[in-house]
Amino acid sequence: MKHLPLFFDLAGRKVVVAGEGPMADRRADLARSAGADVRRLPAATIQTVDFKGAAAAFVATGDAESDAAVQKLAKAAGVPVNVADRPALCDFILPAIVDRDGVVVAISTGGASPTLATVLRGRIEAALPERLGAIARLAVTFRAQVKALIRDPARRRAFFRNLVDGPAGRLALAGDEVGARRVALGELDAARRHLAPEGIAHIVGAGPGDPDLLTLRAAQLLQEADAILHDDLVPPAIIARARRDAELVSVGKRKGRTGWTQAEIDAELVRRVRAGQTVVRLKAGDPFVFGRGGEEIDALRAAGLAYSIVPGITAALGCAAAAGIPLTHRRIASSVTFLSGHSAEGAAGGNTTVIYMGATEAASVRDRLLGAGTDPTTPVAIVENGTRPDQRVSTGRLGDLARLAAVHSRSGSAGPSLIIVGDVAAYAAIESPPLAKVS
């Protein structure tokens, strides 16, 4: 992150704007909208003393030499300065801003592309309701009461989530702020009388690794969770989508490493939900495809606890698509089989076999498939880190799978891999069109 996003209170504070023209006007208007005491000064007469006591300075003369000269004066006075269209001279930059009646979203590209920031601002403006500030006012109205009456932090967060996203929030967005307060009072009274917090576990698929392939529901739950119990195979870029104060617990099990047992994970889920937490059990791929999600559901059911299932794009689908491999094809493949590396038995003609966690047992996988009658010339593909920026794909023939896997592992750091066996695997060797992307 090149710039740390901060929001400064400028109400009543001096802000100097040096220069004339539209760019200077915009900066002056923006500072006034935040309550600043704006001083407009012509660049030709400005001196260091003019910056004394200022909280910030904006320079927009339109002339490179004048901009640099005024910037030096501001720096000499110890005032942070922004120079229009000259990032190298800036102590801070102006983001693209979306203001919804006090709810402010700032978008910055670190000066790399103001156009991109503008495009993103347009998309965010289209997504945010015009009366969003009414919900913020509603939350402020009840903040002290909620803090006094609901002592448990997890239950407080749950109350405010419902306030924002429930009936009261919808009334506020519709312009009925009186009705919204009435509904919120009823919900607060109900929350006060409910002494025992209720927890829930969400068994969530993280997909094959690309954060943009998370489902909308998965992304939402990552922002709501009190705790996230995640696999080792879930990449940091996805974990970074979690709420900043969520507790992150790695419960991964990796081949050849000591880690949490499934029984320990089940017990931890039950313990946290019983304590009233909203828990996300975040699994690579899909929870019900070699994810042991069914076992965790069994444990939650046995304990009489609430849970939900959020499917993810399983690795076979994501990796195959990212590599350009159609798992089924009208002319050459009419079925797909998903296997783990410990149970690969055979790949019949016209069938695609997808083998999870099989790269480290490539020789054994090859022998079992050949023993089941699979043609040794059948195309194979090894897809590592599928859908991620560091995706690697190796292709070859089944008879040479062990050597192919060995070469593949030597050519880079080993990540989660799967093997695709069948005629469709040959598609991975076909060059993809420019900018092709799974979506």
Q: Are strands 351-356 and 417-421 parallel, antiparallel or unpaired?
A: antiparallel
Is 231 one of the catalytic residues?
A: yes
Task: Label residues 36-70 b or e (16+ Cβ within 10 Å = b).
Answer: bbbbebebeebeeebbeebbbbbbbbeeeebbebb
Residue of 379, 418, 416, 422 whose CA lies nearest to 399: 379
Which residue type is seen at 58?
F
Task: Please give the DSSP secondary-structure letter assigned to residue 438.
Answer: -
What angle separates helix 153-165 from helix 177-193, to the nearest 10 degrees? 150
Asked if 273 and 200 touch (Cβ cutoff 8 Å), the reply is: yes
Two structure tokens written together for 305: 């606890």
Which residue type is seen at 22?
P
Spatial distance between the Cα atoms of 325 and 334, rounded to a whole number of angstroms = 14
Task: Quickly list DSSP for 75-116.
Answer: HHTT--EEETT-GGG-SS-PPEEEEETTEEEEE--TTS-HHH
How far is Cα of residue 209 from the mean position of the Cα atoms in its chain? Answer: 11
Is 72 one of the catalytic residues?
A: no
Which residues 6+ apart lie within 8 Å of 130 measured at CB?
100, 101
Q: Using the structure block, give the residue that is written with the tokens 């109350």.
A: 159
Asked if 127 and 163 touch (Cβ cutoff 8 Å), the reply is: no
Catalytic option among 99, 101, 253, 367: 253
Catalytic option among 226, 231, 266, 286: 231
Asked if 26 and 49 touch (Cβ cutoff 8 Å), the reply is: no
What angle separates helix 293-302 from helix 262-274, to the nearest 10 degrees? 40
Spatial distance between the Cα atoms of 113 and 122, rounded to a whole number of angstroms = 15
Residues classed as catalytic: 231, 253
